[in-house]
Amino acid sequence: MTQNYRGRIAPSPTGYLHLGHARTFWFAMERARAKKGILIYREEDLDFNRCRNEYSQAAIEDLDWFGCVWQEGPDKVRMKQSYRQSERMPLFLKAWKELKEQGLIYPCEKSRKDIRAASENIQNTDFEPIYPEAWRPSSHVTDDLNSPEGYNWRFKVPQGRKIDFHDESLGPCQFFGGKDFGDFLVWRKDGIPSYELAVVVDDIEMGISEVVRGEDLLISTARQILIYEALGAKLPQFYHAPLVIDSAGDRLSKTHQSLSLRELKKAGHTPEELRQSEAWWSGIEDFLET
Ligand code: GLU
């Protein structure tokens, strides 16, 4: 069991990586190392409007400087597959087809604004505006559609369905379909799969046994569990790492340029020193004890 551990880090080249990314990836690396497993570097570069080659190159250099080590990835010639999502479209299309044939997804013409307005009357727990169930089209609508092209496609979330899972860091987690989140996107009108679909397809296909990512993606995990089930795949373990927050208590984002690994390096910091800083340590102790 331990020998088969396969973890991954999955940066999106939409900006320079910051200390928060480095910490999540460090957790992933430590966990893979502790289990004598493999760590995969997968580039999540599907958003053509936001991703840039320059960031893709920089992410590898910066993580390398920081001391992150992975065994499979776009910069390593290890396997026949590509480690860039933009080169894995056939896999995503296959999953889209599978979901469509099971009647689990549908094309949707409503805008985000429509959904926001409609959801004002639906009670939810504040995570996101809930897509009204009544807007789902009747099932035969998809019969003639052989490609996702031209539409946003949504996953039919079973209303009231309890999704519970054990998180290796947070313990038991629980969400309810239709209350915490509604019908979510699996394919975007601009021609690319959504984050939720692409990440699950890749994690299944790459044989990932544990997904380590930031706590901000906890609710995404609940959505993704529904996709795993629909595709008949075994769930990996999940470990949601605590986020690094700034002095105002906000989580870091790619707009915090002063905390980008690049800037920290330029300012003369060393990875060792950063890993001992207060921002780095808050929340990391409980991992080290396990
Ligand atoms: N690509 C995502 C990010 O950069 C990570 C997704 C994941 O780990 O599932 O935040």
Domains of the chain, earliest start first: 6-289 (3.40.50.620)
Give percent above pLDDT 90 in the chain.
68
Q: Which residues of 50-67 are buried (b: 16+ CB within 10 A; e: fewer)?
A: ebeeebbebbbebbeebe
| Mutate which of 217, 225, 251 for ligand 1 pocket (most atoms within 8 A of beta carbon) | 217
Neighbour count for residue 220 (Cβ, 10 Å)? 17
Residue 89: what are its φ and ψ, rounded to 5°? -55, -40
Query: Which range, 29-43, 248-262, 275-289, is most confident?
Result: 29-43
**Banded pLDDT at 42 (limits 50, 70, 90):** very high
Q: Tell me the pLDDT of the chain averaged across its residues.
A: 88
Cα(20) to centroid of ligand 1, in Å?
Answer: 12
Is residue 214's pLDDT more than 60? yes
| Mutate which of 25, 47, 213 for ligand 1 pocket (most atoms within 8 A of beta carbon) | 213
The torsion defined by the Cα of 165, 103, 107 and 175, in degrees rounded to 10, comes to -20
Adjacent-strand bridge partners of 212: 239
Cα(142) to centroid of ligand 1, in Å?
Answer: 30
Residues 62-118 have pLDDT tens digits of 999 999 999 999 887 666 789 999 999 999 999 999 999 999 999 998 888 888 888
Tokens 């999502």 — which residue? 85
Q: Are 166 and 158 in contact (CB under 8 A)?
A: no
Residue 38 beta carbon below 6 angstroms from any ligand 1 atom: no
Tokens 């984002």 — which residue? 253
The strand pair at 152-155 and 185-187 is best described as antiparallel
| Mutate which of 6, 9, 12, 218 for ligand 1 pocket (most atoms within 8 A of beta carbon) | 12
Q: What's the pLDDT at 283?
A: 44
- Report pTM: 0.90
The strand pair at 171-176 and 105-108 is best described as unpaired
Residue 148 beta carbon below 6 angstroms from any ligand 1 atom: no
